[in-house]
Amino acid sequence: MTYGRRSCRANDVNFDPDKHHRRSIRLKSYDYSRAGAYFVTICIKDRECLFGEVIDGNMQLNDTGRAVQAEWVRLPERFQSVDLDDFVIMPNHLHCIIHVGAGLAPPGRGAENKGAASSAPTLGDILRAFKSISAIAVNRLLGRSGRSLWQRNYYEHIVRNENELARIREYIVNNPTQWALDRENPSYVGA
């Protein structure tokens, strides 16, 4: 699999439509700009541990982890319809709950001339912006340029009720204590 901006096209020499198609993991016909809560996991490309380490069940962020955290908490400044909930930055991934609103901008921010649907950012728009700005910050800290930080996609789950929201919050808060059992942990030895 290739990472970056290169895409497979029919005129590419190595393009095989039976092998090189991208299947979306999003729900078909679901409007991801629709108001709701989403549980999201974003992984670093190749599961490289860049954001710090778990020590005694606590995540200790390093400079790159703190840079990612800084960009994450700034998202509501970039997107007026976003509220952040619990999140945890792990050595090689991020778990978070993000609330996406209906997308109506406050008066004076362009909402007057646009319909709600045309101005509402989707979950994908928000995460794409986060991945881009956080990758720039991390690559700058690491003295590298043009390298992909995040894997191409992300995992999301639409939170359907308060009980599920409480369970996911508990999972996020306890995630560092479960690092030894996490399949994203390079030291994990599965049963």
Which of 56, 40, 61, 51 minimizes the C-alpha distance to 177?
56
pLDDT of 68-126, one tens digit each? 999 999 999 999 889 999 999 999 999 999 999 854 344 444 434 444 444 678 999 99
Q: Is 65 exposed, middle or buried (0-12, 13-18, 19+ CB in 10 A)?
A: buried
The answer to whether the predicted template modeling score (pTM) of the entire model surpasses 0.85 is: no
**Domain 36-178: CATH superfamily, name plus number:** Transposase IS200-like (3.30.70.1290)
